[in-house]
Chains A and B, each alone.
Chain A
Amino acid sequence: MKRTLPLFLAFFFGIIGIIVQMVPALKGLMDTMLDWMAIIAAFALAVGISSLTRHHMTKIRRKHKDIFFSYVTFIAMFFMTIIGLVGYFRPEGALQGLFENMYNYVRVPLDASMFALLAFYITSAAYRAFRARTWLATVLLLAGVIVMIGRVAFGPFIIFNDITAWIMKVPTTAAMRAVNVGIGLGIVATSIKIVLGIERSYLGGGE
């Protein structure tokens, strides 16, 4: 029950997964299965929230110096949940407006700012790559610099534009294509191993 049934379930639903990919006539089954997966996954959120709560409760219990911030997380979480749920049942109410404002002026700018930090991270990564002295790193860097210039080139530098187009069209496409084929083989092999029960680490592994 503890080990064999999960392996059997993985096999059984794995076969269903293969079948719905192959048989158009079973589209109804496929839609049902996709709904099932969404429904099943939804309940895991309860486990997730309990884990997050536990993580912050431990900090609070241990009187960690950042205790205040754990409270911030809790308050924000409850606040957002409550105004969201009330807003769901009363779409015209004030709380729904507040929920939308929280989304637009808290979540969106935080998201956008984190994303914008990439400008700095990518620069520092490029800088470090600059210092590497192997021939491979040099090739990487050279291609990177040419393409960077190529994307904004004008006037006498327009030649970089053509070189960039060539680099993207020939060597980059070739490399990415082969890498993708390898990934495809990896995905298929891993999936087969799981369906056949050869790979069972996801169940905690062991026998």
Chain B
Amino acid sequence: MKKITLILVLTLLSVPLLAAQETDNETPFYACDVSLYDTPNDDGISVELEFMPANSAEEVPQYAIDLYIDGTFSNTIMVKNAGALFLHTVPVEKKGSIVRAEIFAYDTQGQRQGPIVVKEATSSAQWYFSDRVGAFIWSMAFIGLIMVLIRKAKRGQEIFIRRIAGLEAIDDAVGRATEMGRPVYYIPGTSIIDDIATLASLNILRPVAQQVATYETPFSVPIKDPVVLTVAQDVVKEAYMAAGRADLHDDGIVYLASVGQFDYAAAVNGAMVREKPATVFLLGMFWAESLMLAETANTVGAIQIAGTDSTSQLPFFIAACDYTLIGEELYAASAYLSREPLLLGTLKAQDMIKGAVIVALIISIIGMLFGSDLLMKIFLQ
């Protein structure tokens, strides 16, 4: 009985709806889906407009969107009806601006109809990037862990670090150059200072330079970027002083070889075939020039100790060089070589964070096996 009543009610209700549809068929019904919303993760100087036509291109060949900012007309955007989503960022002068979008349709005669839809949104600034919160929390945990482990290391707790062949080889490589009376070359990558790999390399330059100074071996550090040059000059100078060989230091050791990628490679290759270094360090960020430098070093009979965090260049170093520091080994080198407890403490912290990342990976995978992405969202956001 209930069912019959329901059906009757529904049928009765649908009559006016059907009637309405009939009238709609007589006059064209203009429609579109519009959303206007504050741009997420910005400083409040724009709102986003998403527009999707609901009429066919035959019915409405074109739409117009009139934009008002704080009540004053700003501009009109004409949108051809391609049946596709149209995205537009509306720039505003200041945060808190009210943006109004009025959509008009053009009928087949080119008559402007509407506004068929009106939407409003207020621009606002966000105080944090919602998609970076996870990375931020992980980073802060990392910093906290480093501080704890440094305190432990300061108290004299021993920290074990495995052997890294490329770094063990430095001693012999510099010694070899000394015996042969030929120079040591140190190339701290070809990137600029904002690349952390460059900084990692400059951190390794210090102990290498100190050793070279102690052995009184000729040394050459060709550089590509002027800012890196200034840093490298300081590092080498202080290293010579620390080795007690300030007398051997010469401002010409660290020099700007050139400023571009391949001109730098041409200059350094030329220098290498002329001066025939016995040992060449290639540590830092490299691009295609990596292999040119490594191969030229090989042709002059040099031992090459390479290392980079460029995954595209690692294969070439591995194929062409005697020793290669792979990715994170480059960053670990400064702690490894200096054996300073503070730096070793951070290396331990790095391992622990890595362990935590592996655990997060495994439990996220387990979560997914049970059909839930909750754990992944918590740990890997």
The answer to A–B direct touch (Cβ < 8 A) is yes
Q: How far is the CA of A91 from the CA of B353 in the complex (A)?
A: 55
Q: Are B234 and A204 interface neighbours, CB within 8 A?
A: yes
Given the interface contacts A192-B143, A204-B238, does A181 sit within 8 Å of B357 by beta carbon?
A: yes
Q: Does A122 contact B (CB under 8 A)?
A: yes
Q: Residues 245-269 of chain B: 1 if any A CB is under 8 Å from the residue's CB, otherwise 0?
A: 0000001101111111111011000
In the complex, how many angstroms separate the beta carbon of A153 from the nearest chain B beta carbon? 21
Residue among A37, A121, A125, A176 facing the most chain B CB atoms (10 A cut-off)? A121
**A51-B255, A129-B319 known; A198+B346 contact, CB < 8 A:** yes
Are B350 and A189 in contact, with the CB atoms below 8 A?
yes
CB neighbours of A85 from chain B (8 A): none
**Across-interface contacts of A193 in B (CB, < 8 A):** 146, 343, 346
**Do residues B292 and A118 form an inter-chain contact, with CB atoms below 8 A?**
yes
Contact check, B346 vs A22: say whether CB atoms are below 8 A apart: no
Write the residues of chain A forming the contact surface with B, with a CB cutoff of 8 angstroms: 18, 21-28, 37, 41, 44-49, 51-52, 54-55, 58, 66, 110-111, 114-115, 117-118, 121-122, 124-126, 128-129, 140, 176, 179-183, 185-194, 196, 198-199, 201-206
Distance (Å) between the CB of A187 and the closest chain B CB?
4
Residues of A within 8 A of B334 (CB): 190, 199, 201
* Contacting residue for B350 out of A185, A194, A204, CB 8 A: A185
> Is B65 on the interface with A (CB-CB < 8 A)?
no
B93: min CB distance to chain A, Å:
13
Q: Is the CB of A189 within 8 A of B331?
A: yes
Please tell me if the beta carbons of A26 and B43 are within 8 angstroms of each other in the complex: yes
In the bound complex, CA of A45 to CA of B255 (Å): 12
Across the interface, do A182 and B328 meet the contact criterion of CB distance under 8 Å? yes
Which A residue sits closest to B136, measured CB to CB?
A: A22
**Interface-side segment among B4-12, B50-58, B197-205:** B197-205
Inter-subunit contact A47/B226 (CB<8 Å): yes
Q: B160 in the interface, Cβ–Cβ < 8 Å?
A: no
- Contact yes or no, A198 B291, CB < 8 A: no
B169 at the binding interface (Cβ < 8 Å): no
Q: Chain B residues with Cβ under 8 A from A201's Cβ?
A: 202-203, 205-206, 235, 334
Q: A24-B41, A128-B319, A186-B328 are in contact. Are A48 and B259 (CB under 8 A)?
A: yes
- How far is the CB of B219 from the nearest CB of chain A, in Å? 14
Asked whether B262 lies within 8 Å of A125 as measured between CB atoms, the reply is: no
B239 to chain A, nearest CB (A): 7
